[in-house]
Structure 1
């Protein structure tokens, strides 16, 4: 097919959208442990809703092996090893009743689909408790409860082959859990269910494969605890089940010997041929999940809703359980899964906060100190962040040591997009976590540099770090080159950078390269040659000079080798170092020995001789050369024999930097050009030097004229240097858009740095500034620490309570966050407005709402004729007897000098679900109506005195914090204005979500989808203009443009609607037409306009790459946050771009199969309970699928490219640019 490039004048439209996740789901829903990849390897397999991660357990910790998408929301995941299989297989069931069985092919490093199928029945009501899956311990069958009154059976033979599935009628309708019993001659299930009188019972059934029916099971137990939630099947020889309830944990099994047993310690009695042992829970918290410790089932880990970890011990005599014992071990994240790995190490998977790797100790250990951030500039420190009554048990012995935490954003309840660093790049601040695991997360694209020292130093042309001895761990000197001089800086006794001298260095010449040389030396290369000095004394020990009339133009050095280029295209290789006594430096010196000399036929623009395997190694067998002929060559360093070469295709300027480096064991050659282009070539081996496939992308942004004289270059060419972070080597590409290059899953990743310009860089790991970088711009030299290397960086601000809503106020440089806190002592919930500094995230003030009052919405806004900025909070008073709140308040608060004061309040009849600034007024969604308020003057002496107050003891509260009556006292000026109702619009079920655009109001209703209202200021009324008549239960809504609106609903779908402005008939104008439908697979809680990408002047945004975008026509983007911790982007595109990407998506589906054989088309089809069939996605393109093209093997990529009619390199370039401009 033909694919002409999109016209730059093509207009973006909300009708065509590109949906991609900037942050994959982080909440863990399931985890299992087993020898999945190899019979001698132990794996942790983690499910994160729509993704599966496979990790290898190593002595150093968990090592990521694979992260794959699943075209479905995972409902059940189990490892199953049939008798004739050496390794277990992975069984996955999705919420749409699709299943697959996967195995791992170690030779290819791929997942293999062993079986798959669709278990959907045309008749039957889906189970209210969701899909439940279980596996027979002897691998005879899978059992699934998907529909009320039916039990699906999938028989399995001893090799794991599946037989035809069948359904069995199940009398029990409201089923909470199903487990297969161990040690039974026939497959037997235990069913926990509830009857019509809300009593809970357990019944067992034998599954008869021959008759495809149930036979009565060996036992039943009526009237278990009414709060019983799930079953734990105990392995043979003990057998039976553990029933986990709200107050009691019980063990049940059939009595196989005479008598009932002793019923001792921690146990109940038994009767009627049953063994019943029970133990009471030690707290009111609900058990959330469990994990087995021993294969014989004698010990289980339990995690409760307060994040406490317990150990349940079944005391037994190897054949019979005698008693139960329950011990509290300590505090972890609130768990959604528990997996015991080995040697006391446990994986705590969480959907409510960060997942953890913990070690269990046999004796109590101290509890680690709380508070603080993640080492990224704070996060509110120490004990202030966690309230005194945080729910943490501090007096109980602690046996839990946290070894590692895995950052999770889920659930994202709310977020804002801000530019805190004033760099033109959006950052997302989320309300994340549940209860004690609640936190704010600051998410930004790229890598952050944290300035530790800065010197005004214009004109830097290069910088290098030097150690003061061969065995030194830290750097001591920083060599800085200028046009006509070289300066040496050193750390003094006050940990400050001070200028020093090396007597043997040429201070009046520009250094072209510097390096430590083995034997206690340092070398300086200038246009006049190479100088080798004693690094301890600075004395000159040896010198190499070119022939008369020759000048060195560029150079590179490592610990034993120096490679220099002379004008005219001559390349010289020099061996350096080796020790020996002092000598006349003018004599031929064994410390600098010329090894080889060759003329390459062109002027040499750049060199590199970095050792490939490890940049800290002594020598490199190969060196890289960039030529003015726009090509790169690889030569043998010792002989300068050419090994291979590659042209820099379509390069219009010379290369300015080359670098040899290795990522994840794969050797690369990088070449940076003077116009911001970067070429990456894979090498065929570390020693062969054979240049393989290459790719080109834009790193810098400004292509400027290049002067062909090597010492007078203008523009911002790319510079390339390696550095180490967390024991891994990365590459820093300096330019006017500095970038860090690293590798993930054998793929190169490019993350921008939060600095506007870096011309030169070197690693500078000194005692005063460990693990830092020296970065030079046009005007200054900065020493800074660097974030962990990842595409998205996440900073954590722990709260110890649950954040619910957030707003940012630039005028006061603060965030206001609505939080809730449940007392561990009284179990009462309190609600606060919490004020944070927007730089340090220190808590400045806490404003407590009235008793029984809950917070529901907050914005920062200003009103017409009042320039002041206010925080406006919407609340509700929730009464147990009310279905919907009948009373609420709107509070107008002012943030001033780190305090919140109440300026005005308005009583309303209902819950204030949302607030929006609207043409200098305030628009509120209150129960079933949308109401507009204006800010008006009121009579003198009318106070604002009702309502909440500041909580005593809050940070930075003056004079003891004030009490009620307006949060510590409102200023007199606050009494001059109040909110007055202007007009409203009724007719909604619940107006949960509202977005505004001009005079238009977009309402997302609880049940009635999207409606469009219009405010008529002349008439002072709000009228309905149009609505979508589909029964969608909304979770978020926003306006994409004047005509198009985006909605998310509770069945994990996105859809767009458009108003019919030009329709002739009233009926057509009153209808919002659905123009786009797409199954996202995530529950969206909020849309916000904005971007995580830095927008720079002159940034092309896809011009010339067939994306149809240029600097004047950006891709408008909406960010969204989900329950599972995903951050996504919806980018509106021109029609031609959308058409091309849709064709690419179709080609990807044709060439690449989904994991488990699941269909991508079916997965993205719109589906909810109101539609009996899947509706094919339209108006949206799956960006995750599009961008997975970059991970394809070359043969697959070629196949896709041939289908769409675009070359692989061009297609790669387009997709990489799309990634860059969207996330």
Structure 2
């Protein structure tokens, strides 16, 4: 029984359009992302999110219908399940409704279209032509509903016709006054690039109710462009001109004119306009050759084209009246994301949806051919396609078996290689919480600390004091949200930098500066008490709560001031070190949760102590564990109640100067430590800011570091390190005011910002553009770095040149380490196909890590050795440079590599090879071939678990072998999955349990326990076939999956787990459900499905069922879909009771189980 749920939903955008969908007067932007439809309202500056709706099917086509008598558009949506629906916006319910559902089914002998599914709509919004299968066109027509029935119009299917144009590149409707016509851009042969344009009428009768037969005798025109790479047809609307109302065929070519209203054929080097009536042509040559991918209309004469290199072009039809005289094509200067779809929003705004990079909002200047990338919503960020990823445990930098945290705790980090070519990037993906900036207060540099204050008699804070290096400034917040800087405040001295400012009892304000600690009355400013260090010493640091101020003088002398007793002093000199010198205080803090306890950390000893602020006696001392190469010391600390008092002990949080954050769970009764967590949140020290929760007495702690995080509680005794989007923070103060409730004042990037943090779980993605494809990557704990195998493309003398390289980057900020190493052989570049880490122990260096890289040659035919791939083992020197130790050339490309101990299993065309690696010196290695197996035609992925080797064959499915080098036949076949799939990834996720994904979105689970227990030949022959025990279709191609090394815990819902990433940018959690929950959750999922209304009522079971070209299941097999299960939490309590009726689980238990599963992703 298996489970999967999205960690991060897919982000690739392949379809978009603008339509009058929710309003008759304003345009909406409609975006299709895998199986979700999003509606955005177009504004002057961009777009605002309005609505989202999921559909049971991957959206393959999106069009709009606009009947003549309608004021708003309908949408026509097609899915990969050959289901097609029309949808419209219901003003009463504020929901998307579905009036029409069409199911297209064809016999098995009909071949699906090899190009993208197309649904073409004519200009009048009456006819739809669908090209779903090669050589077949389906035609439908909009019909008026009877007057008695309200609502949108319905579709009437006219029929299907055979067409002789098999390989259609593009198609479009032509403007016509006599009846609908369509143009096909096609090629005759699949493997021969050419272009031909054919024009046909859609219907055969005057009433336009019968489809045309599309025979050569009804073909109106055929034309062959000289540019064989012509790939796009753009329909051009016609315009009525009273002065030229009749089209006349000219007697000579010189006198002929092309009227506005036809099509534009876009090629690699030429653009051709063809009149739709007389078929006259106007041709233009492009300034430079390029490959166009998509287009959008601005007006009848202006169009925007997107190319394969990330540039936009403007195409203009220059006319004299309605006659087209010439075509102009010009390129915008800036390079942007490669466009998969374009939607013009008006007023120079353009939406660019991309499959290869972030989607963008652009402002275009057509005169200067310049563009501006506008700030877009976070949801426009795109991770697709994720080619590979690595898991980084932020708490444990070793590969030894240990307890690994769940991804949802924020202690694990996914680093993914996303995008293609110039859109390539690294993406850091972490579990996080919502964090928003709601206002900008002022530009303010050099902020050191901030403090929230309130006027006398105010219930909530209404002032913020900002301390810089030289002075202190105060801002007042009005109830209406107005903000004013104060020139004077009686209770504060503005002329000095402040270490502490705090409201205390009896309407007093405490201000601590470098020279003194002073209590002043709020309204009169009268000094009620002041304290200064003796002998002209300076106050180095200070912290205060409601009862005490803890101060350090000259870096060594600790002072406790009792704020409730007229600053009564209790002092303690720092303990001398072993060499007789005083130990300097590195940081100190007071606790708001425990007012009588202070925290003090010392420099030389590296210890952190809890002190009693009444007596200044040390209550407990803790030593921070250190690694052999670490000399980090504490730089900030906090003692807080993260969990509710009855759910967990207080937490002592310590920020180290190497970027690590250590969390102790301690008992204040005997100061014993029940647990300790170390998490790496940066390469430098972080600052801790306590954010109290008044309603339940708990606290959250914001860590301002390279990887800003919020430490909080989600379940009892469980610390969550959620990522936030607050970057470059220098100071934070909680600010719960009337105008900005439950807010924060944040000093960051030279500005004062007003922000909020909520507990809504979301995934945070941090992007580092690389301008190259990250094809493979791996994590090196000992180097505290990632190794990237990259591809880049550039033009040299108008010829594309591909380079591949290896580059080491640091684990936190991805800064390059050392020099990149080009992967080439005899001046020919190699493609890095696979990458793994080899570890062994050396008597001198201890544990050593080596890189194992399998490659293929880009131009293998021109290489003298006729080798097609190499297996290379690389080392890393002291300067972080990668260097080769040994190389083995293979006659075929290496598609996959897996390291097991000192053995390297290699997948090559026609089989598996096994090499043994030994190292003769720190700079040389040796590879010895020890075994091979030649029954695999094309291995795409392989994994090793114990003595079992699993291999995915591109033309078949999974093979399982027992490997034993002591036998003459090292590989013994113990099982095979006898399906013809296109597998993309395979991994062992648990003993006897294997997970495989294929290109059609299927994820299947094998259990080979019976095959592993075979004892003799008879048993082996009796169990040759392996059947899957669980199967589901996730609607996306999984490119990579990695098992998680998580220690099983008793009573845990999910046992073994894995992370899956997809070509659409999705990240998914896979898990094996505990046996006691399996049947119950399957039945609960079935009940939930019965009571959920989906768009078009498309079947959830069919959408999630396993399917390939030959066989299709009726429903997912023994698989629980997390998103579907979580719909239970959205139901009313009454509906929940209906769902659970008759099931062996109560409503309360069902909610708890589903929430627990949700917390895991």
Residue matched to 2:559: none
- 1:884-914 per-residue CA deviation (whole Å, 9 max, x = no partner) reads 9843222211122221122222222321212
2:465 is aligned with 1:476: yes
2:520 is aligned with 1:539: yes
CA contact (8 A) 1:434 1:802 kept: yes
Secondary structure of the 2:800 match is: coil
The 3 A distance-change label for structure 1 pair 732 and 298 is: farther
CA shift at 1:1178, angstroms? 0.3
**Alignment partner of 1:877 out of 845, 857, 861:** 857
Residue matched to 1:949: none
Residue matched to 1:890: 871
Residue matched to 2:911: 929
The 3 A distance-change label for structure 1 pair 235 and 1191 is: farther
Q: How many residues are paired up?
A: 894
Find the aligned partners of 1:38 and 1:722 in 2 and give their Cα distance.
44
Residue matched to 1:205: 200
The 3 A distance-change label for structure 1 pair 1153 and 860 is: same
CA shift at 1:820, angstroms? 1.0
Find the aligned partners of 1:933 and 1:981 in 2 and give their Cα distance.
4
Residue matched to 2:566: none
CA shift at 1:354, angstroms? 0.7
CA contact (8 A) 1:740 1:752 kept: no
- 1:507-536 per-residue CA deviation (whole Å, 9 max, x = no partner) reads xxxxxxxxx999968899999665579999
Secondary structure of the 1:72 match is: coil
Residue matched to 2:609: none
Find the aligned partners of 1:1193 and 1:110 in 2 and give their Cα distance.
18
Secondary structure of the 1:274 match is: coil
Find the aligned partners of 2:45 and 2:892 in 1 and give their Cα distance.
55
- 1:761-809 per-residue CA deviation (whole Å, 9 max, x = no partner) reads 66663657867999xxxxxxxxx99999861111111111111000111
CA shift at 1:1116, angstroms? 1.9
Secondary structure of the 2:795 match is: coil
Residue matched to 1:1145: 1085
CA shift at 1:841, angstroms? 1.0
* Aligned CA-pair RMSD: 4.5
Find the aligned partners of 2:725 and 2:1118 in 1 and give their Cα distance.
31
Residue matched to 1:1035: 984
Please give the residue correspondences for 1:1047-1086 in structure 2 after superposition, counting only pairs within 5 Å: 1047-1059=996-1008, 1060-1061=1010-1011, 1062=1013, 1065-1086=1019-1040
The 3 A distance-change label for structure 1 pair 1212 and 1137 is: same
Find the aligned partners of 1:706 and 1:1146 in 2 and give their Cα distance.
50
Residue matched to 2:993: 1044
CA shift at 1:751, angstroms? 8.6
**Alignment partner of 1:286 out of 286, 291, 312:** 291
- 1:212-237 per-residue CA deviation (whole Å, 9 max, x = no partner) reads 33473543323453212121111232
CA contact (8 A) 1:291 1:302 kept: yes
Residue matched to 1:105: 90
The 3 A distance-change label for structure 1 pair 900 and 676 is: same
Residue matched to 1:1178: 1117
Find the aligned partners of 2:753 and 2:27 in 1 and give their Cα distance.
38
**Alignment partner of 2:376 out of 374, 398, 404:** 404
Find the aligned partners of 1:444 and 1:1077 in 2 and give their Cα distance.
28
2:698 is aligned with 1:719: yes
Residue matched to 1:965: none
Residue matched to 1:67: 52
Find the aligned partners of 2:317 and 2:413 in 1 and give their Cα distance.
50
Secondary structure of the 1:1153 match is: coil
**Alignment partner of 1:244 out of 249, 261, 266:** 266
Residue matched to 2:336: 332
Residue matched to 1:304: 307
2:133 is aligned with 1:193: no
What are the ranges of 5 or more consecutive residues in structure 1 without an aligned counterpart?
1-15, 256-272, 365-396, 451-461, 478-489, 501-515, 544-564, 566-604, 607-655, 658-670, 678-699, 708-712, 742-749, 775-783, 939-971
The 3 A distance-change label for structure 1 pair 1035 and 464 is: same
Please give the residue correspondences for 1:218-229 in structure 2 after superposition, counting only pairs within 5 Å: 218-223=220-225, 225-229=227-231
CA contact (8 A) 1:1046 1:1056 kept: yes
2:361 is aligned with 1:361: no
Residue matched to 1:1109: 1052
**Alignment partner of 2:894 out of 912, 928, 938:** 912
Please give the residue correspondences for 1:5-16 in structure 2 after superposition, counting only pairs within 5 Å: 16=1
The 3 A distance-change label for structure 1 pair 812 and 156 is: same
CA contact (8 A) 1:734 1:760 kept: no
**Alignment partner of 1:320 out of 319, 323, 335:** 323
CA contact (8 A) 1:288 1:302 kept: yes
**Alignment partner of 2:1129 out of 1184, 1187, 1190:** 1190
2:946 is aligned with 1:998: yes
Residue matched to 2:452: 465
The 3 A distance-change label for structure 1 pair 473 and 914 is: farther
CA contact (8 A) 1:739 1:751 kept: no
**Alignment partner of 1:802 out of 766, 773, 776:** 773
CA contact (8 A) 1:1087 1:1120 kept: yes
CA contact (8 A) 2:898 2:905 kept: yes
Find the aligned partners of 2:862 and 2:465 in 1 and give their Cα distance.
70
Report the TM-score when normalising by structure 2: 0.70
The 3 A distance-change label for structure 1 pair 539 and 67 is: same
Find the aligned partners of 1:178 and 1:761 in 2 and give their Cα distance.
59
Find the aligned partners of 2:1128 and 2:428 in 1 and give their Cα distance.
29
- 1:1148-1169 per-residue CA deviation (whole Å, 9 max, x = no partner) reads 2111122122111111111111
Please give the residue correspondences for 1:643-682 in structure 2 after superposition, counting only pairs within 5 Å: 673-676=644-647
Please give the residue correspondences for 1:64-143 in structure 2 after superposition, counting only pairs within 5 Å: 64-122=49-107, 124-143=110-129
Please give the residue correspondences for 1:421-570 in structure 2 after superposition, counting only pairs within 5 Å: 422=396, 424=405, 425-447=411-433, 465-466=452-453, 475-476=464-465, 490-493=467-470, 531=508, 539-541=520-522
CA contact (8 A) 1:28 1:349 kept: yes
CA contact (8 A) 1:718 1:734 kept: no
CA shift at 1:1073, angstroms? 1.9
2:1153 is aligned with 1:1214: yes
**Alignment partner of 1:275 out of 280, 285, 303:** 280
The 3 A distance-change label for structure 1 pair 1141 and 128 is: same
The 3 A distance-change label for structure 1 pair 842 and 1036 is: same
Please give the residue correspondences for 1:723-1122 in structure 2 after superposition, counting only pairs within 5 Å: 765=745, 791-825=762-796, 826-844=799-817, 845-850=819-824, 851-852=827-828, 853-863=830-840, 867-879=847-859, 886-896=867-877, 897-936=879-918, 973-975=922-924, 977-1019=925-967, 1021-1059=970-1008, 1060-1061=1010-1011, 1062=1013, 1065-1090=1019-1044, 1108-1109=1051-1052, 1115-1122=1055-1062
CA contact (8 A) 1:91 1:100 kept: yes
Bigger relative contact order (CA 8 A; separation at least 6): 1
Find the aligned partners of 1:1194 and 1:103 in 2 and give their Cα distance.
30
CA shift at 1:865, angstroms? 5.9
CA contact (8 A) 2:159 2:210 kept: no
Report the TM-score when normalising by structure 1: 0.66
The 3 A distance-change label for structure 1 pair 175 and 474 is: farther
Residue matched to 2:169: 176
CA shift at 1:47, angstroms? 0.9
The 3 A distance-change label for structure 1 pair 917 and 533 is: closer
Residue range with higher mean Cα deviation, 354-363 or 1204-1213: 1204-1213
Secondary structure of the 1:127 match is: coil
CA contact (8 A) 1:250 1:278 kept: yes
Residue range with higher mean Cα deviation, 849-858 or 519-528: 519-528
The 3 A distance-change label for structure 1 pair 1209 and 363 is: farther
Find the aligned partners of 2:233 and 2:291 in 1 and give their Cα distance.
14
Please give the residue correspondences for 1:599-610 in structure 2 after superposition, counting only pairs within 5 Å: none
CA contact (8 A) 1:133 1:178 kept: no
CA contact (8 A) 1:468 1:535 kept: no
Residue matched to 1:344: 348
- 1:424-461 per-residue CA deviation (whole Å, 9 max, x = no partner) reads 522111110011000111111115999xxxxxxxxxxx
